[in-house]
Amino acid sequence: MITTTDLTKVYRSRGREVTALDGVDLHVREGEVYGVVGQSGAGKSTLIRCVNLLERPTSGTVSVAGQDLTALAGRGQGAPPSGSWGRAGSALRQARSRIGMVFQHFNLLSSRTVRDNVELPLEILGVSGKERTRKALELLELVGLADKAKAYPAQLSGGQKQRVGIARALAGDPKVLLSDEATSALDPETTRSILQLLRELNEQLGLTVLLITHEMDVVKTICDSAALMRDGRIVESGKVSELLATPGSELAQELFPVGGVPSGEDRTVVDLTFQGEAATKPVISQLSRTYNIDISILGAAMDTVGGHQVGRMRIELPGRFEENVVPIGFLREQGLQVDVAAIADGPGANPTPLLKEGAK
């Protein structure tokens, strides 16, 4: 649904060059909720703004719903100077009107009522007055704000404002919704309700959602797929459930951090991920009994990720990795995902070189 190929964006200011995007290939399937995470400055915002060409990429292509937007932007214009809002031809404007976008700071017009804000994109599309009103009220109903139609944005709470933002983004019947940190200015409670709304819209309308966020919780709650960005590159991407099943996955680790440091030298620390059926077996006690070893649990968590029950646990086995090959093999046989953790501050023991072997 959304595909970017080798997308690059370089900002030039006062002779300095800053590479915000460095060859990003993104592939968002139709009907899925795709989350891009990363720290601030990783290029997430630039990426999402390149998808509807609010930001012109320096090179590479963007296509949404099979339409090559970069081609619509016109040749030769290349990249306007940094920070420019840029001008857009009518073909690109038309394509944009079929891509909804919600913003971190809502960006509602304070001079218009809620209803008029939702009508704005319809005005731009040239929809007649009566039809606009009907559609706007219908959308407000959909986001649960029908009673606020006549209020001004200043009279709404943050969560209500974002609902208006979402209603407005849906006015042009888009197939794709871009969400630029839509929940980052909201409290946890409101964040949950907004995410739930996005999920409902995704399911009811078949809306494809591309969202960027720095909150792992957002990905955990609604994303089908996710990508991790760092320094303008996508370092990891895939379906959330698959990522969790990928040994050594950074995203999985971020999504599901398990802490705990080993109690001493000559210990093997192992991260276990339970998914599906494996989550119900008494694996740890079996391991302990079968091999007659003492197991300490350093940290553990259980959560629902992408609708699946997932558990993660960090355990400690006595002895070095070499001595624990057999118990670890046993854990694998039980259908668990086993990662031998690299503990950076573990004194003496340096499992890093073994990690790769152990993980594979």
Partner 1 sequence: MTWSEMEPLLEQACWDTLYMVGWSALIAVVGGLPLGVLLVLTDRGGVLQNMVVNKVVGQVVNVARSMPFIILMVALISFTRAIVGTTIGPEAAIVPLAIGAIPFYARLVETSVREVDGGLVEAVQSMGGSTWTVVRKVLLPESLPALISSATTTIVALIGYSAMAGTVGAGGLGDLAVRYGYLRFETKLMWITVAILAVVISIIQFAGDLAARGLSHRGRSSVAPRLVLLRGGASRAGKPAPVPERAASAEIETAEPTKVP
Q: Is 47 exposed, middle or buried (0-12, 13-18, 19+ CB in 10 A)?
A: buried
**Residue 23 touches partner 1, criterion: CB under 8 A:** no
Length of the chain: 360
> Phi, psi (5° rounding) for residue 340?
-85, 115
Q: Residue 112 interacts with partner 1 (CB under 8 A)?
A: yes
Q: Which of residues 265-324 bind partner 1 (CB under 8 A)?
A: none
Least distance to partner 1 from the beta carbon of 142, Å?
Answer: 18
User: Does 62 engage in binding with partner 1 (CB under 8 A)?
Assistant: no
Cα distances (Å, whole numbers) of residue 296 to 256, 287, 289: 19, 12, 14
- Render 6-38 in DSSP notation, one character per residue: EEEEEEEETTEEEEEEEEEEEEE-TT-EEEEE-
Q: Which residues share a beta bridge with 318? A: 267
Residue 57 contacts partner 1 per CB under 8 A: no
210 is written with which tokens?
């591309």
Q: Is 58 in the site for partner 1 (CB under 8 A)?
A: no
- Non-local (6+) Cβ contacts of 272 within 8 A are 283, 312, 313, 314, 315, 331, 336, 337, 338, 339
Q: Which of 3, 4, 45, 52 binds partner 1 (CB under 8 A)?
A: 52
Piece of 92-100, 139-147, 201-209, 332-340 that binds partner 1 (CB under 8 A):
92-100
Q: Which is nearer to partner 1, 178 or 226 (CB)?
A: 178
Distance (Å, whole) CA 343 – CA 263:
11
Cα–Cα distances in angstroms (integers) from residue 281 to residues 254, 292, 345, in the given order? 25, 18, 32
Applying CB under 8 A, what is the total number of residues that bind partner 1?
40
Stretch that binds partner 1, among 14-22, 75-83, 261-269, 331-339 (CB under 8 A): 75-83
Which residue, 168 or 220, has its beta carbon nearer to partner 1?
168
**Residue the block writes with tokens 């888009």:** 174
Contacts of 12 (CB under 8 A, 6+ apart): 18, 81, 82
CB of 214 to partner 1, least distance (A): 18
| 154 lies in the site for partner 1, by CB under 8 A | yes
Nearer to partner 1, 183 or 337 (CB): 183
Q: Decide if residue 83 touches partner 1 (CB under 8 A).
A: yes
User: Least distance (Å) from partner 1 to the CB of residue 330?
Assistant: 54
With binding defined as CB under 8 A, does residue 12 bind partner 1?
no
Binding residues (CB under 8 A) for partner 1: these are 52, 54, 80-81, 83-88, 90, 93-97, 99, 101, 103, 105, 107-112, 120-121, 123-125, 150, 152-155, 168, 171-172, 178
